[in-house]
Amino acid sequence: MSTAKEQEIDMTQQAKDESIELNNTVEDNEVENKTDENNKIENREKSDKAMLEKGRKKDKGSFLKELLIYVCIFLVLWKVVPAYIIERTVVDGTSMQNTLQDEEQLMVEKLSYRFSDPKRFDIVVLMPYGEDVDEYFIKRVIGLPGETIQIKDGKIYINGEVLEENYGKESIIDGGIAKEPLTLGEDEYFVMGDNRNGSDDSRADYIGPIARKLIKGKAVLRVWPIDHLGSID
């Protein structure tokens, strides 16, 4: 039979054991909580790193996409627009005086002739010697497909009627191949310079009527010199 003192010692020892066990439990919980917190931090860091890497890849992809768009725009402006829509050209010579002067800069519109044919009095850019020769003239359309052209007594006749126009300011000296009636083919145009006595044009036997496919555009705007800026008639 244990004494009161022994019971007191047992209770004290039990309390110590419980205290130690509680402390161990608290320490274990703290270690576990710290481990969980470390795991959360590590997972968060991994997540942040993954998001950062994903963002870098996305930024790189966006940059390449934007670069491709800019390259395509540049190619369109460099190749497609001048070839099919509008292009700048420079007047070389005096054959279109007094309408156009030497070294004036013009904008030549090409799109409309893909949907409609040149009209009488249009100022056009053409290839007089065919598409195999890289040379361009700028002239005015005088005769249309199927019409009969003749130049006599210093005047132009279309189907036997005098052409009423004010572009040529002087009497024509040389009618060239149009001295006698000249009937144009179904896709041919007769072109002349406004400087009628100082122009190589359809009157010359080495040029003649111009096939439709050789007319490349219509001069629509004078852009230089700046004091002559404006549309072209």
Q: Give φ, ψ of 43 to 5 degrees.
A: -65, -40
**Residue whose C-alpha is closest to residue 219's, from 142, 137, 114:** 137
Helices (H), 99-175: none
Amino acid at 129: Y
**H helix runs in the chain, sequence order:** 4-75
- Token output for 125: 């850019």
| Of residues 125, 102, 83, 84, the one with CA closest to residue 218 | 125
As a whole number of angstroms, the distance between CA 201 and CA 196 comes to 9
Q: Which of 34, 40, 54, 139 is catalytic?
A: 139
Locus of tokens 């039990």: 14
Residue tagged 């002559």 (tokens)? 228
List the one residue out of 133, 130, 138 whose CA is nearest residue 211. Answer: 130
The pair phi, psi for residue 211, each rounded to 5°, is: -65, 145
95 is catalytic: yes
Of 2, 65, 95, 155, the catalytic one is 95
Based on the residue annotation, tell me whether 139 is a catalytic residue of this protein: yes
Active-site positions read: 95, 139
